[in-house]
Amino acid sequence: MTPEDLSRLANKIRRRDLQAVFEAGAGHIGGEMSVIDILTALYFRIMNVEPANPAAPHRDRLVLSKGHTALALYIVLSEKGFIPAEEISTFLQHKSRLNGHPNRVKVPGVETNTGPLGHGLPIGVGMAKAAKLNGENWRTFVITGDGEMQEGSNWEAIMAAAQFNLDNLTLIIDHNRLQQGARLAETNNLAPLAPKLEAFGWAVEEIDGHDMDEICSALSPGTITAGKPKCIVAHTNKGQGISFMSDNVAWHHKVPNEEQYKQAMAELEGALE
């Protein structure tokens, strides 16, 4: 898919995400809007995955460490063909397998359960190390939030990845500058992130996390530095595409009322014109 095609698809996914949050009366819409472009590029341009065979041994792996944005992942998986599109309507319903955090036992295409922040990158390091030990060339991608990078377990994993020369590992930090209840700068300001990762021996690239050309270029195999894990610091906006949600800390897990829903949907639909 071209970057233009990917952007159109990402917009469609945003609209479905908005609808699902509104209908379920719950969700983490702000962080979902910020990560959707990255997820779309990964599944429809970059990753080698097989919806008909989710456990294919040589597939690429994605760990969505910021697991509270599971709905965005579910919709991407449905668009890719891992789960039925109509199942999105069951999000958070009684006995639905589409829970508020992804579950690898229940949902095809989910690589590991996430939710407790700081766990995804250590798991991703283990996956990438396993591929190296087995002489395999599949890639591991991990998406974290920037607030999540305050977890010490992430920095232990960062040290290990550099020690093991895991150039088959890519960490993508969804750097939307906001976390639950506050701005990153008001909590534990890790910014700027790039020099910190570089100091630990990683190859680092900073991009506009909503520019499909930049996303696809940064994720491509040609940008890998031999012997170094890669970190992409993706500068994004929480609530991207919706004026009153964008860069607004209140929309971490707030649900729009009917008037807000109609306005948000109109704005997203207008972006296609």
- Residue 85's pLDDT band, with cuts at 50, 70 and 90, is very high
Q: What is the DSSP letter of 87?
A: G
Rounded to whole angstroms, how far apart are CA atoms 31 and 19? 15
Q: Are 196 and 190 in contact (CB under 8 A)?
A: yes
Rounded to whole angstroms, how far apart are CA atoms 26 and 105? 23
pLDDT, average across residues 86-98: 97
Q: At what angle do helices 120-133 and 152-163 cross, to 10 degrees?
A: 20
- CA–CA distances in Å: residue 100 to residues 68, 103, 152: 6, 9, 24
In this prediction, what percent of the chain has a pLDDT beyond 90?
A: 97
- CA–CA distances in Å: residue 237 to residues 29, 37, 156, 176: 12, 11, 27, 5
Domain boundaries, the chain: 3-270
**Is pLDDT at 163 greater than 70 in this prediction?**
yes
Contacts of 185 (CB under 8 A, 6+ apart): 177, 191
- Pairing state of beta strands 182-183 and 61-64? unpaired
pTM of the model: 0.97
Q: Tell me if residue 232 falls in helix, strand or coil.
A: strand
Rounded to whole angstroms, how far apart are CA atoms 266 and 253? 21
- Residue 181's pLDDT band, with cuts at 50, 70 and 90, is confident
Out of 44-53, 77-86, 174-183, least confident range: 174-183
pLDDT, average across residues 124-153: 98
- Residue 68's pLDDT band, with cuts at 50, 70 and 90, is very high
Rounded to whole angstroms, how far apart are CA atoms 259 and 26? 16
- CA–CA distances in Å: residue 4 to residues 10, 58, 145, 225, 270: 10, 29, 26, 28, 16
**What would the two tokens of residue 249 be?**
């800390």
Tell me the pLDDT tens digit for each residue of 205-224: 999 999 999 999 999 999 99
pLDDT, average across residues 56-75: 98
User: What pLDDT, on a 0 to 100 scale, did the predictor assign at position 52?
Assistant: 97
Where are the strands (E) in the chain, listed by range?
61-64, 140-145, 169-175, 178-179, 182-183, 203-208, 230-235
**Is pLDDT at 3 greater than 70 in this prediction?**
yes
Rounded to whole angstroms, how far apart are CA atoms 114 and 249? 22
Q: Closest Cα partner for 232 from 178, 193, 200, 201?
A: 193
**Is pLDDT at 272 greater than 70 in this prediction?**
no
User: What pLDDT, on a 0 to 100 scale, did the predictor assign at position 197?
Assistant: 98
Rounded to whole angstroms, how far apart are CA atoms 70 and 67? 5
CATH top-level class of 3-270: alpha beta
pLDDT, average across residues 3-28: 97
